[in-house]
């Protein structure tokens, strides 16, 4: 099949593209406008592959999207293009409204008109996978059961609100127009090629450079962590086998407090990269610095992924321990990739969300 992946040069998008190109026979049209978080260097092994076509397109550009659909005739759309960093949304929400809401609407409308022109066989087989986040469900108190697909939406941040709005649009386009939409909501992703403003790469890189490791508040905010390559495989399943109109939560049932995540990174680096000793540090943990909490900070997210696991017989291959170890090794082995980003992006903000 021919997949159109929006945001295919981003963190999760590039993982999906690499999975499709390296481990399937499908073709990929990769549509990305290459904002600060888009990076063609994240497409290692796929960039020059004959089944991979890159198009620098903004999903808010209706004409460019129409031309892309007409030229490439995709069978499946995986919509991953989005602004995704909570801190940035608090500082300036406009790009999140533009990309996540207006962009999703533009893509849905373009896709609908394309789909309505397909013959009956192709239109029946066509799928639009809208990829979202667990943050749309809002704050989850300690001891309360994890989010289900039926959990009411209660987004806290401008980012989460913009994603919630795009989810509602996707479901409305299925209900009103019949567009074969599938929605997924995932937990925190981590792994190779993640932009350095996010919690895990931020902690790894700052530790290696002997810089402070900022932790919001008491660091007891709990997140469910999902290795990005596991998520990519799950998304392809949802896109090819998901039932139109259905929502699937994708997570790993692996809740960890942020402070513990940072401490674990420090402890692993003690063995893998004892560079701190050359800087006069006794332990990497000495770099941990508690900073003022951010506005509206959700204390806990947790995903109930039983529906997805049962439907598709899918389970994450990586535990948090094995996934974090693989991630640390990747950042240690690929310093050129992240050093370019750090050098070209001044004042990277402290991260906390997927």
Cβ atoms of 295 and 264 within 8 Å: the answer is no
Q: At what angle do helices 11-23 and 228-241 cross, to 10 degrees?
A: 70
The catalytic residue among 32, 137, 149, 159 is 159
| Interstrand relation of 2-6 and 27-31 (parallel, antiparallel or unpaired) | parallel
| Interstrand relation of 222-227 and 255-257 (parallel, antiparallel or unpaired) | antiparallel
The catalytic residue among 135, 167, 230, 298 is 135
Closest CA to 193 of 225, 149, 229, 158: 229
Residues found in the chain: 354
State the Cα–Cα distance between residues 86 and 81, nearest whole angstrom.
Answer: 15
State the Cα–Cα distance between residues 319 and 312, nearest whole angstrom.
Answer: 19
Does residue 186 sit in helix, strand or coil?
strand
- Sequence-ordered strand ranges (E) for 127-233: 127-133, 181-186, 188-190, 213-216, 222-227
Cβ atoms of 8 and 37 within 8 Å: the answer is no
The catalytic residue among 19, 32, 134, 149 is 134
Q: Give helix then strand counts, H and E, for the chain.
A: 13, 12
Residue 159 known to be catalytic: yes
Residue 313 known to be catalytic: no
| Interstrand relation of 247-250 and 181-186 (parallel, antiparallel or unpaired) | parallel
Q: Which two tokens stand for residue 68?
A: 């892309």
Indicate the Cα dihedral angle 187, 191, 193, 195, nearest 10°.
50
Q: Which two tokens stand for residue 247?
A: 């929502």
Cβ atoms of 14 and 42 within 8 Å: the answer is yes
Q: What is the DSSP letter of 353?
A: -
Cβ atoms of 136 and 148 within 8 Å: the answer is no
Residue 275 known to be catalytic: no
Q: What angle do CA 130, 14, 27 make, to 5 degrees?
A: 80
Which residues carry out catalysis? 134-135, 159
């Amino acid at each position: 099949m021919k997949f159109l992946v929006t945001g295919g040069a981003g963190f999760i998008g590039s993982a999906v593209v690499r999975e499709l190109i390296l481990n399937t026979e499908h073709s990929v049209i990769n549509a990305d406008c290459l904002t600060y978080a888009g990076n063609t260097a994240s497409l290692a092994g796929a960039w020059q592959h004959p089944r991979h076509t890159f198009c620098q397109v903004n999903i808010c550009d209706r004409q460019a999207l129409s031309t892309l659909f007409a030229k490439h005739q995709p069978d499946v759309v995986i919509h991953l293009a989005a602004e995704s960093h909570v801190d940035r949304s608090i500082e300036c929400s406009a790009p999140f409204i533009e990309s996540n809401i207006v962009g999703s609407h533009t893509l849905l409308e373009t896709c609908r008109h394309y789909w309505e022109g397909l013959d009956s066989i192709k239109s029946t087989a066509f799928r639009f996978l809208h990829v979202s986040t667990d943050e749309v469900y809002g704050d989850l108190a300690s001891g309360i059961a994890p989010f289900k697909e039926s959990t009411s939406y209660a987004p806290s941040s401008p980012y989460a609100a913009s994603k919630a709005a795009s989810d509602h649009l996707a479901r409305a386009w299925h209900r009103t127009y019949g567009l074969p939409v599938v929605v997924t909501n995932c937990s925190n992703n981590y792994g190779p090629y993640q932009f350095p403003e996010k919690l895990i790469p931020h902690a790894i890189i700052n530790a290696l450079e002997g810089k402070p490791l900022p932790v919001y508040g008491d660091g007891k905010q709990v997140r469910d962590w999902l290795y990005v390559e596991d998520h990519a495989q799950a998304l392809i399943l949802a896109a090819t086998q998901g039932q139109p109109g259905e929502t699937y939560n994708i997570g790993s049932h692996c809740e960890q407090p942020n402070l513990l995540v940072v401490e674990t990174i420090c402890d692993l680096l003690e063995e893998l990269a004892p560079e701190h000793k050359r800087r006069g540090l006794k332990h990497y943990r000495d770099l941990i610095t508690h900073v003022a909490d951010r506005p509206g900070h959700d204390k806990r997210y947790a995903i109930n992924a039983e529906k997805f696991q049962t439907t598709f017989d899918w389970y994450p291959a990586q535990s948090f321990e094995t996934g974090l170890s693989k991630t640390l090794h990747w950042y240690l082995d690929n310093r050129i990739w992240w050093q370019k980003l750090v050098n070209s992006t001044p004042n990277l903000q402290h991260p906390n969300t997927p």
